[in-house]
Amino acid sequence: SQQGEEDPQALSIQEGENATMNCSYKTSINNLQWYRQNSGRGLVHLILIRSNEREKHSGRLRVTLDTSKKSSSLLITASRAADTASYFCATDSTGANSKLTFGKGITLSVRP
Amino acid sequence: NAGVTQTPKFQVLKTGQSMTLQCAQDMNHEYMSWYRQDPGMGLRLIHYSVGAGITDQGEVPNGYNVSRSTTEDFPLRLLSAAPSQTSVYFCASSPGLETQYFGPGTRLLVL
CB atoms closer than 10 angstroms to residue B43: 28
Q: What pLDDT is attached to residue B1?
A: 73
What's the mean pLDDT in A56-68?
Answer: 97
Mean pLDDT of chain B: 94
Closest CA to A24 of A85, A68, A54, A62: A68
Q: What pLDDT is attached to residue B98?
A: 83
Nearest CA in chain B to A10: B40
Q: What pLDDT is attached to residue A3?
A: 66
pLDDT band at A97 (very low <50, low <70, confident <90, very high): low
Per-residue pLDDT at A27 exceeds 90: no
B45·A100 Cβ contact <8 A: yes
Measure CA B95 to chain center: 17
B43·A48 Cβ contact <8 A: no
Q: What pLDDT is attached to residue A61?
A: 97
Q: Which of A97-101, A108-112, B49-53 has the lowest mean pLDDT?
A: A97-101
Residue A95 zone, left/alpha/beta (φ > 0; ψ -120 to 50; rest): left
Q: What pLDDT is attached to residue A17?
A: 97
Higher pLDDT, B11 or A92: B11
Per-residue pLDDT at A4 exceeds 80: no
Closest CA to A31 of A47, A43, A9, A7: A47
**How does pLDDT run across B45-97, given as a tens digit for each residue?**
999 999 999 999 999 999 999 999 999 999 999 999 999 999 999 999 998 77
d(CA A83, CA A102): 20
Q: What pLDDT is attached to residue A100?
A: 85
Q: Is B33 on the interface with A (CB under 8 A)?
A: yes
Nearest CA in chain B to A97: B56
Q: What pLDDT is attached to residue A96?
A: 62
Backbone angles phi, psi at B65, to 5 degrees: -125, 150
Q: What pLDDT is attached to residue A5?
A: 81
Min CA distance, B104 vs chain A (Å)? 5
What's the mean pLDDT in A57-64?
Answer: 97
Mean pLDDT of chain A: 91
Test mutation, A2, A94, A102, A106, chain B, max B CBs within 10 A? A102
What's the mean pLDDT in A13-25?
Answer: 96
Q: What pLDDT is attached to residue A1?
A: 47
d(CA A39, CA B66): 27
